Structure 1
Amino acid sequence: MSAIETKLAELGVALHDAPAPAANYVPYVVSGNMVYVSGQISADVNGLITGKLGADLDVDAGADAAKACAISLLAQLKAACGGDIDRLVRVVKLVGFVNSTADFTDQPKVINGASDFMVAALGDAGRHARSAVSAASLPLGVAVEIEAIFQIK
Structure 2
Amino acid sequence: MTGQIETRLAQLGVTLSDAPAPAANYVPFVQSGDLVYVSGQISQTAEGLITGKLGNDVNLEGGANAAKACAVALLSQVKAACDGDLDRLVRVVKLTGFVNSTPDFTDQPKVINGASDFLVDALGDAGRHARAAVSAASLPLGVAVEIEGIFQIK
- TM-score, normalised with respect to structure 2: 0.99
- Within a 5 Å distance, the mapping from 1:47-126 to structure 2 comes to 47-126=48-127
Equivalent AA in structure 2 for residue 106 of structure 1: D
User: Where does structure 2 lack aligned partners over 5 or more consecutive residues?
Assistant: none
In the aligned structure 2, how far is the partner of 1:32 from the partner of 1:82? 15
SS in 1 for 2:17: coil
In the aligned structure 2, how far is the partner of 1:92 from the partner of 1:130? 9
Q: Deviations over 1:88-140 (max 9, x none)?
A: 11000000000000000000000000000000000000000000000000000
RMSD (CA atoms)? 0.3
SS in 2 for 1:12: coil
- TM-score, normalised with respect to structure 1: 1.00
Calculate percent identity across the aligned residue pairs: 78
> Which residue is equivalent to 2:46?
45
For these two proteins, the number of residue pairs brought into alignment is 153
> Which residue is equivalent to 1:141?
142
User: Where does structure 1 lack aligned partners over 5 or more consecutive residues?
Assistant: none
Regions of 4+ moved over 3 Å: none
